[in-house]
Structure 1
Amino acid sequence: MSEFLRPSIDGSVFGAVHLGYIVVRSNRLPQWRRFGADAIGLHVDEIDGGALRFRLDDRECRFLVERGPAEDVTAIGWQIDDHQTFDRILARVADRGVPITEGGADEAALRGVERLWRFAGPKGLAQEIFTIPVSAAPAPLRMLSSGWVTGEAGLGHVAIVSREPEAMRAYYRTVFDSRLTDFIDENVSGLRMKIRFLRVNERHHSIAIANIRGLKIDPLRTRVQHINIQSATLDDMLAAFRRVTEQGFRMQWSVGQHTNDRELSFYCVTPSGFELEVGWNPVVIGPELESTWEPATYQGISSWGHTPVGATVLDKFTQFRQALRTAATPEITVPQLTGGPR
């Protein structure tokens, strides 16, 4: 457990929550296998029934790709340090009238956890919480990368474009006591974008929430904009960049450095259409920094690099058409957990 204040002291669950795994539904499993293993450099296992699991460390599962037509992330799994914290989170959700279901034994086994519970999340992303992951040790990792950074910081982070950013921020504050790390203001093709970065442990952010200021539109088909994972070394990150290009997968943003968390990274497009960010060496907000941290606003996402790669007029048209389509449909916000009307 981390050195942050425990729930028994301050009533907060902050520091005891860690991004554990990501669940994807896709009918492009051969492409996913090649993308994850040959391009990014992850360990891959084929599971009976038509599913893939990717490992980054001693856990049985960090990414689960199940067969299905969504071509999107469908669930986010969160590890909770202890049963006291776990019960506190479940009570917060249940007391506000949000249904909670226990995942079946087969679902838990696929995700590499002993048991899990599930409840509704923003944008239709199911939130799954668990306490005990299943270790794959001593089975060796078979991957091209030398390693990935997980541990107390969790798997990485999830970035989401939302038309209701304050409701989403309130959701993660209510459920996980997330804290605001900082903001970024960015101008993208003449549109003003605001990004909020939320942390639930020492990782600079586990959730990033972006919205287009003044317009309730979402230009993306997928629920998430990108998933981030952290390379153990700079050489690993650069080698993955080279392999993605050589394997013929689409690069979205070249190598660059972010203004706020100082992470060096690149972005590529997964077989399901959302992006994967592979990064290295972001800021870590340990207990000493945590005690004095104040949110700041940064102008621009990157201090250098992160230039777009291969964007076409058709891409822009597709995003515009998607934005018009979503404008007529309310975004899922789970108002019981955002302070809004039930």
Structure 2
Amino acid sequence: MTRRSVFGSVRLGYVVIESARFSEWRRFGRDAIGMHLDEPLSDVMRFRLDEHECRFLLQRGPAEDVVALGWQLDDHDVFDEILTRAIHSGVPVTEGTDEEAALRGVERLVRLPGPNDLAQELFVRPRPGEAKLHMAARGGFVTGDLGMGHVAITSKQPLQMRGYYTNVFDARLTDYIDETIDGVKLKIRFLRVNPRHHSVAIASVRRLPMNPIRTRVQHLNIQVADLDDMTAAYRRVKQLGFTMALGIGQHTNDKELSFYAQTPSGFEWEVGWNAILVDESTWEPRTHQGISIWGHNPEGQSLVDKIKQVKFGAQSLLQREDPVRALAGVGIPDN
């Protein structure tokens, strides 16, 4: 069977979050981060960044976590190619209901199981939002052909997770970062599915099968078009009393200026500006030492938070992590 590459025809389209903390999320997403908030329903809340009807879907539930990633595909040929890969691998494919598609602002979706119990949803056509955008981020957000940002995931099986995104979306390795935090050595792999520097980052503890993060994702990222909107969001997060995880700084690899706030559900939310794009004709992966050129200093982590991370890490040693091996293969060896 001839395999057609789908690289460049995929972008992160939306994120689904399960939470019971709607009032806190309303203040966080609309008032602090500056996104457009649709008129919320009793069990559903939707945020927009642009003309798409939905970029973040919150559904009421106990998880306090991201539960699904929605991937926008260029056309139905790409859709069918990825679907064929999943079906030929024997992976169960679930057709989304009309109600699920409507909540996500898409015409049709299918769902694949993903690593770390993070569902992967595929769609082609997003629906445009009808209401006029009302956002504190006056310059808007960087989306379009690049998608809406990235997700960072911690894993005990990083090579299998990289294999999954490579086999499903033809993701390419952009670079690595080696970092030591509180004495724990981490390796982070950055994967791209289009010219955005990365849409998925995979972090792992070196030489130890543990995961110190409770949630399926460590952080979500969105990118503003204007520097003033990033610094204004930073001020609003602090003024409204939300926890700042990392202050403003600049990354070593994608050169993005950003900060990290803690969401009401516990994972982190990065707001960034001016990340570089990848030139496929010249790019070569390399390893960077440390996540930051400057800044990104911890601001909100207490001793209790650190103890919780140690506890989660210890518990994870005994927990199984499903890499969806049928699509991950044996994993991608690091170069």
- Give the match for residue 331 of structure 1: 321
Partner residue, 2:137 = 145
Q: Distance in 2 between matches of 1:259 and 1:117?
A: 36
SS at match of 2:70: strand
Q: Tell me how far apart the structure 2 counterparts of residues 69 and 277 of structure 1 sit (CA, whole Å).
A: 23
The amino acid that maps onto 2:220 is I
**Native 8 Å contact 2:175 2:253 kept in 1:** yes
Alpha-carbon distance in structure 2 between the residues aligned to 1:271 and 1:48: 19
In structure 1, what residue type is equivalent to 2:308?
T
**TM-score, normalised with respect to structure 1:** 0.95
Query: In structure 1, the residue corresponding to 2:121 is in which secondary structure?
Result: strand
Q: Is residue 2:300 matched to residue 1:310?
A: yes
Aligned-pair CA distance for 1:16: 0.2
* Residues 163, 330 of structure 2: 8 Å contact kept: no
* Aligned counterparts, 1:48-63, within 5 A: 48-63=41-56
Name the CA distance, whole Å, in 2 between partners of 1:80 and 1:216. 34
Query: Which of 121, 125, 133 is residue 128 of structure 1 equivalent to?
Result: 121
Separation in 1, partners of 2:322, 2:219: 19
- Counterparts of 1:168 and 1:339, CA distance in 2: 9
Counterpart check, 1:204 vs 2:188: no
* Cα RMSD after superposing both structures: 1.2
Alpha-carbon distance between aligned partners in 2 of 1:136 and 1:328, rounded to the nearest angstrom? 45
Instruction: Using the aligned pairs only, state the percent identity.
Output: 58
2:7 — aligned with what? 14
| Aligned twin of 1:83 | 76
**What displacement does 1:328 show?**
0.3
- 2:297 is equivalent to residue 297 of structure 1: no
- Residue 338 of structure 1 and its aligned partner are, at CA, apart by 1.1
Tell me the CA shift for residue 326 of structure 1. Answer: 1.2
Residue identity opposite 2:256 in structure 1: E
User: 1:83 and 1:221 mapped to 2: Cα distance?
Assistant: 36
Partner letter of residue 136 of structure 2?
L
In structure 2, do the counterparts of structure 1 residues 62 and 27 end up closer, same or farther at CA, with 3 Å as the change threshold? Answer: same
Q: Residues 100-126 of structure 1: CA distance to partner in whole angstroms, max 9, x if unpaired?
A: 011001100000001100010000000
- 1:241-286 per-residue CA deviation (whole Å, 9 max, x = no partner) reads 000000000000000000000000000000000000000000012x
In 1, Cα distance between equivalents of 2:269 and 2:89? 34
Could you say what secondary structure the match of 2:39 adopts?
Answer: strand
Other-structure match for 1:236: 229
Aligned partners of 2:68, 2:61: CA distance in 1, in Å? 13
Question: Which string of whole-angstrom CA distances, capped at 9 and with x for unpartnered residues, describes residues 305-329 of structure 1?
Answer: 0000032111111011111111101
Counterpart residue identity of residue 314, structure 1: V
Deviation at 1:62, TM superposition (A): 0.2
Q: How many residues align?
A: 329
Aligned partner of 1:269 in structure 2 is: 262
**TM-score of the superposed pair, with normalisation by structure 2:** 0.96
Residue 28 of structure 2 is aligned with which of 35, 41, 47? 35
1:195 paired with 2:219, answer no
Q: Quote the Cα distance in structure 2 between the aligned partners of 1:94 and 1:208.
A: 26
